[in-house]
Amino acid sequence: MADVYRAYDPDIGRVVAIKALKAEYRSDSEFSARFVREARAAGALHHPNIATIFDVGEADGIPYIAMELVEGQPLDQVLQASGRIPCKRLLRLAIQLSDALAFAHAQGIVHRDVKPSNILLSGDGNTAKLLDFGVARIGSGGNDGSEERYLARTQAGQVIGTPRYMSPEQALGLAVDNRSDLFSLGAVLYEMTTGKTAFGSTGLATLAIQIAQERVAPIDQFTADCPKGVGQIIEKLLAKKPDQRFADGCQVSKALAHELSALSDEDTTSPKGLSISFKLPLALVSITLITLVFAISATLARQEKILEKMATTSGDMVAKFVSNNIAVMMADNAGLPPSEQDWSPLQAFVTTAALDEGVRGVVVSDASGIIRAATDRKLVGQQYTKPLDETVLSAEGGLSVTNASDANDLRFTRPIQYAGANFGSVDLLLPRDDLDAAMAKSHNDMMILASIIILVVWAISYLSGALVTRPLRRLMQSFDAAPKRDFAMRISHKRRDEFGILFDSFNRMTEAAEERINITPTVPQSMDATRVQIAPRKAA
């Protein structure tokens, strides 16, 4: 119908698209007037998913429309290249298109030519722009015969393009409203989902019959990854009777948004394809396991501190006993000249103490830090140096408890005091085998307890999942069987829970569907193919 040019507006420094009516249509003054009038009506549409019209007029006898230049590709070229569009992207684009139609319909404008070539996708493919509002809607709703004569005159011999996306009422030359656009949108979405046109006939008459009477091929025949909800929306859009479709674009947009939200929620949950009887135990066991890990870790850390406290208390008693027994000998020697000091009784005491399995080593040093007795006699006479790289467990009241460098012993260091005076220190190594054994036993007991809890939670959740999946499976089987039996079936049950309510809802649905099926519609015995209305082919 028009030639489209890329143009530049020097007054505002903007690149635009100029659509100029072709010469063969300019000769009809009535059509030229309609072209300008309808374009001006479409110019009132300001929506992010509708190509904006900036100016409408006539120059040198040529009607023109100056409109937004959308950088991107027409949807028909995208589909030709890719075959189909992924579900999430399709839903986002479909929501934009249904919002655009809802906005236009609210302004009293019916597009009447919704098709892939009239939809432009942005460069990133995530934004859709609907073109040519009002141009295809030649009449204002009433049909005085002039439009029918014009269509019959301009359609002869043209390649089928627009007719493939017509609604049944449009193809039969009946009055159309906004629901006609929704049917065309359904045909576009069907093609975006499957990569196939909804109606594939090549002749005008057979195509009109197919659109008016035949159901489209099931979507799952061409693709397996289309959610059932999306397929149902498309089927509802393609209903033959207008009153069986969505009432307006807002309803379509809400339904599509619900499906997109559900699809996004599925992406954030457990792996796809798993049944509830597996996903429920997996989720509960995972949560229980994480909780147990934190709880057991905290409990074991607390138990370790308690056991270490008990070990240090017990070791302190031993160190105090040793210190008290050698205090007199240390005090006696401290009051004598070095030449008269006798440390042999002290060494004998240390040697005897080391014979106890509960003592790994003893080092006794005097007030000047000289070792006077030790289980390792080579240390006697050397300067005592306490290891600095050991972990301190306790340090209070002069007692210092550390983990020995070999990590198998506890080192107790205690001052030797007598009559309130300090005469040296005792370094005592006690084994921590009992402490480690107690910790290991506590750890093993906790692991056994955690394993039992995990098994119990898994068993309970698995049984709970089975209690849910069984009625769901029954409901799904009923949904599959209902259409095959013309909805003459009901679910018998005695449940009083939520599934009972769900079964009752299914029974009410099938009852209503059966009543509608039993109402025999009045269908014409034949259709006059000459009544088919075909819109004139438009430029890209």
Enzyme catalytic residues: 113
Which residue from 106, 139, 100, 102 is spatially nearest to 118, judged by alpha carbons?
100
Paired residues of 363 in beta bridges: 374, 427
The contacts of residue 60 (CB under 8 Å, 6+ apart) are none
- For the chain, helix, strand, coil in percent to 5 are 50, 15, 30
- How wide is the angle at C-alpha 394 spanned by C-alphas 388 and 399, nearest 5°? 85
User: Alpha-carbon distance 34 to 54, whole Å?
Assistant: 18
HSE-CB for 77 with a 13 A CA cutoff: 11
Helix (H) or strand (E) holding 7: strand 2-9
Which residue from 457, 456, 453, 470 is spatially nearest to 276, judged by alpha carbons?
470
- Alpha carbon separation from 149 to 37, 154, 360 (Å, rounded): 20, 9, 114
C-beta separation of 348 from 440 below 8 A: no
Task: Report the length, in residues, of the chain.
Answer: 540
User: Alpha-carbon distance 126 to 224, whole Å?
Assistant: 23
DSSP states of 168-195: HHHHTT----HHHHHHHHHHHHHHHHHS
Other C-beta atoms lying within 10 Å of the C-beta of residue 169: 20
Torsional sign, CA 124, 164, 112, 211: negative
C-beta separation of 331 from 421 below 8 A: yes
User: Alpha-carbon distance 399 to 68, whole Å?
Assistant: 87
